[in-house]
Chain A
């Protein structure tokens, strides 16, 4: 996988999402639960806005001094016996990790959930050198067994119901118990524990690296990141270059913002802070440690009006607040980063060409901006993207034709008058009970899912004129 998860065009992806009733229902319910959880967890603090301001301030300072803090991180990791590799793109990161796997003659790799390893397509790369990568997050494992794709960055298998999950276990792992979540999870626990014990390498992402001590912090509820950093002899952590804080003081603030915003918890079950290799006398934890710091398009965002998009801490609060995500689901974005942050970030990392529709997957209602725990002005970024797309001449055809036509039409009073008068007659074939139900041309998409009011008998201008005369 890379950042792009589909070759289907945007409208087809949306049709698929809108037609998937189970997915839409489960997203609606998940959004409700995530949001009420977040609301309760943030209201309880009483001064959530101060927390958000602090988060914003920390992220702004860190990104503005990124070269300094990355250098400090590197020195600290190396002082603790770790290796640091800087990768300017996905290919360099994958090449390095492949080399490590080959040098260890690794056959099995356990991975705890990490978006950046999805972004660079690491699993595929490791398969090329004969290393089998097992996803160990329950949701990711379910998807991996059946070759499915994540639809949410926190709960990736949100679009599947338990019967589908049971069928997957039966089909690929000979499962023979019930479809209750408890039984399914217990089965996964046993299966995955075997994988952990057999693994040569553990791979993790990185929620926050801490520059002052060379530490990588991992936030999980299941504990798979703990197992990945306890059992295998070799550990590789992969981080987007912006996922760093100066000290433990800032780490704890951002972790508090993350867990409350992502799942409404004060802290998740496990926050695990790993520094370098195991110390002398320790008998678990990695003997060899690699930190891979990935640019992959991020540095191009620095110093631009979009820099604050790199403040993102991947909590998905914007996704959980978005009315468009609610209707179309995660797959429709065609990116591993869905929702508002995905619509902002994906075109920045992978170019407008393949993602020019994403900034339009928004109502600009600003619910995302309000939800963001580090105050990224997401909807403003979406507007800027749209401006750029229009300036580059890449705007959706319909928007260009419509805007051009509208200007022509609205600036010629006679044409405007005539067409608004004729509209009712022209729309007659599609009109029933004063409603257009299956309209032509530009009304087709709209009226597929809902009705459009038929043009009135009397135009506004005509009514206004008569009203004045009556007085």
Chain B
């Protein structure tokens, strides 16, 4: 049975040199085209790029002022005939009026907030919920992507197990592309010493083309995905 040392020594040996133990300085890459994509755009132009990409990515997008967030959620939940909703216990819930909105929702339907103390019940509820609601931590205009940093208030199951996923996108979270999201995660690694246990890049609904190359929406993950871009600036 190979130990780590044997395994790595063998690699060094095949590469024809001794083991590298001193820290490796990553070179400055000679080509860096990733930084040029959608550069110099205003936040409004990035919203437009996001909308354009979502239009071809089977994702519904609303762009609304904060005052219309609740009405927009009502309309989407109605359209989905939602009878059960699970949502993250997000630090932004108060700021965006979600805490009171979820309280009111409890009068109309089954409503569960993902909380550490709920334990296994979180997943059990998510599995039978019609809709899961999360905030987006970083949003990528180029690919129409919401990036979620999972934690004890936002479990992986909220945006995965229900029929539909609604992501509230604070306009300030929109960046050109994955390049900037990767930098944000690296910043967390440097600042907090670790990255989230799960970072999920979600670009619209679950898809498959495994049957005769026909695009089918909704194989394992949500069948319908909605982004609500909220002006928070």
Q: Which residues of A contact B (CB under 8 A)?
A: 26, 29-30, 33, 45, 47, 50-51, 53-54, 57-58, 61, 64-71, 74, 80, 84, 86-88, 92, 136-139, 142, 155-158, 161-162, 165, 181-182, 184-186, 188-189, 192-193, 196-197, 212-213, 215, 221-224, 226-227, 229-231, 241, 246-249, 251-253, 255-256, 263, 265-285, 293, 295, 299-300, 302-303
Evaluate whether A197 and B127 lie within 8 angstroms (CB atoms) in the complex, with A50-B31, A249-B186 already known: yes
Asked whether, in the complex, the Cβ of B31 is within 8 Å of the Cβ of A45, the reply is no
Q: Are B10 and A299 in contact (CB under 8 A)?
A: yes
In the docked arrangement, what's the CA distance between A302 and B120, Å? 46
Q: Which of B40-48, B92-100, B196-204 contacts A (4 or more CB under 8 A)?
A: B196-204
CA distance A231 to B157 in the complex (A): 8
Once bound together, how far apart are the Cα atoms of A272 and B220, in whole Å?
Answer: 14
**What count of chain B residues pass the 8 Å CB interface test?**
85
A112: shortest Cβ distance to chain B, in Å? 9
**Are A138 and B208 touching (Cβ within 8 A)?**
yes
Residue of A with least CB distance to B27? A61
Contacts of B177 in A (CB 8 A): 256
- Are the C-beta atoms of B202 and A66 separated by less than 8 Å? no
User: Contact at B178–A227, with CB atoms within 8 Å?
Assistant: no
Contact of B178 (CB < 8 Å), options: A53, A184, A213, A252: A252
* CB < 8 Å neighbour of A272 from B6, B151, B152, B201: B201
| Cα–Cα distance between A54 and B31 once the two chains are bound (Å) | 5
> Bound state CA distance, A139 and B214, in angstroms?
12
A269/B12 contact (C-beta < 8 A), A248-B185, A249-B186, A283-B122 known: no
A283 with B152: CB separation less than 8 A: yes
Which 7 A-B pairs rank lowest in CB-CB distance, beginning with the nearest?
A223-B221, A281-B152, A139-B210, A271-B201, A223-B220, A86-B7, A266-B143
Which A-chain residue is minimally distant from B153 (CB atoms)?
Answer: A281
Closest residue of chain A to B193 (Cβ to Cβ) is A79
Task: Please determine whether A67 and B20 come into contact, CB atoms closer than 8 angstroms.
Answer: yes
Task: Assess A256 versus B189: contact at CB under 8 Å? Given A67-B11, A189-B219, A273-B198.
Answer: no
Q: Which residues of A lie under 8 Å from residue B214 when comparing CB positions?
A: 181
Docked pose: A88 CA to B122 CA in angstroms:
40
19 A–B pairs (Cβ distance < 8 Å), ordered by A: A26-B213, A57-B29, A66-B11, A86-B2, A86-B3, A155-B210, A189-B220, A213-B195, A221-B207, A248-B182, A249-B183, A252-B34, A253-B34, A268-B203, A273-B199, A283-B116, A284-B123, A284-B157, A285-B156
A182 to B209: give the CA distance in the assembly, Å: 11
Nearest-neighbor residue (CB-CB) of A143 within chain B: B210
Q: A142-B210, A192-B220, A302-B11 are in contact. Are A227 and B16 (CB under 8 A)?
A: no
Pick from A161, A253, A267, A285: contact of B212, CB below 8 A.
Answer: A161
Please determine whether A283 and B16 come into contact, CB atoms closer than 8 angstroms: no
Task: Name the B residues within 8 Å of A226 (CB-CB).
Answer: 156, 160, 200, 220-221
A222 to B208, CA, bound (A): 6
**Residue among A92, A253, A269 facing the most chain B CB atoms (10 A cut-off):** A269
Interchain CB contact under 8 A, A275 and B213: no
Q: Check B8 against A67 for contact (C-beta < 8 Å).
A: yes
Q: Which of B127-169 contact A (CB under 8 A)?
A: 127, 140, 142-145, 150-152, 155-157, 160-161
Expressed in whole angstroms, the minimum distance between the Cβ of B54 and any Cβ of chain A is 11
Query: What's the Cα separation between A229 and B6 when bound, in Å?
Result: 30
Find out whether the CB atom of B8 lies under 8 angstroms from the CB atom of A71. Answer: yes
Q: Does B4 contact A (CB under 8 A)?
A: yes
Q: Assess whether A30 is in contact with B211, with CB atoms less than 8 Å apart.
A: no
Return the CB mask of B94-119 against A: 1 if under 8 Å, else 0.
00000000000000000000101011
Q: Which of B14-55 contact A (CB under 8 A)?
A: 14-16, 19-21, 24, 26-27, 29-34, 36-37, 53
Shortest beta-carbon distance from B18 to chain A in Å: 10
Asked if B7 contacts A295 (CB within 8 A), the reply is: yes
* CB <8 Å contact, A249 and B182: yes
